[in-house]
Structure 1
């Protein structure tokens, strides 16, 4: 018998990605403080939060297989989170124009009852075009990506902001690296096909 599957995230983007696997799952808010620790690197932050989210929900549902994930935009070692509003999104995109950055997307799979715990991280290198202030403003008003790390949705109009995307897990940039997630779910005993 397959264990229940839970996505420890309220992100609609992660929910949509996980639905691609055609597995029944529930969504539970992990209620984890996402404040970076002093001196924490973007990679460490993403990994810590993915594990914390998975463990927080697994503690409440020990028989379930729980997926936690987090994404941090990494601009030369500085974590860029979700902007939250137009002004911060404008500042983020102005800083990123004409530059490459790394989106660190961590995923963790945990099951309290079986003791299973695994985590991994996908690094997606993204090169932004040299963007004018007018282009940035037009994009933000059209798509309002204020809940996205790095202020851009590559799965939507945000693709027009970019010169290149380099990744071995194409869904990682949207927020959940499904290739890695599938690998961990199989190891946790979840049947995918």
Structure 2
């Protein structure tokens, strides 16, 4: 039987993948060739055990590709004014992919840098600078007012996060709108 199986393998190039015997293809061929053959009758409990006993060649079990959900197309919003820019930012948070990601990330939120990159790729034709916002956090303060999203800073860290207010943890506080300027001392 071994000689017959090895002859079948040599005769059919589809049975060898990268120098190893393609187990499912060989099993299918053996079932067609000898439909009454039972592996247990030959002292093997599985096809793999049978092939190891009668072929002693390296076997390969092709890996099935994982099914992945198709990527949702990212929203791209066309804007040309400051008001449209703020409305687009708000929309991307309240009903768009940025808000979904922030909420899914829970207390990790999304860093200000990541939000900025997302906004650049999602808003076409106009930037925060063109909308006359010197800093992204100023635009976010205006766009996210009265929403569930807040710009926060973790105590003791310099990184700003946009977070869903349901996921704020102790030690997270609001980000100041502008940097506090150092005032010169009156005493000299």
The TM-score, its normalising length taken from structure 2, stands at 0.24
Structure with bigger helix share is: 2
Higher relative contact order (CA 8 A, sep 6+): 1
Structure having the higher Rg: 2
Structure with bigger strand share is: 1
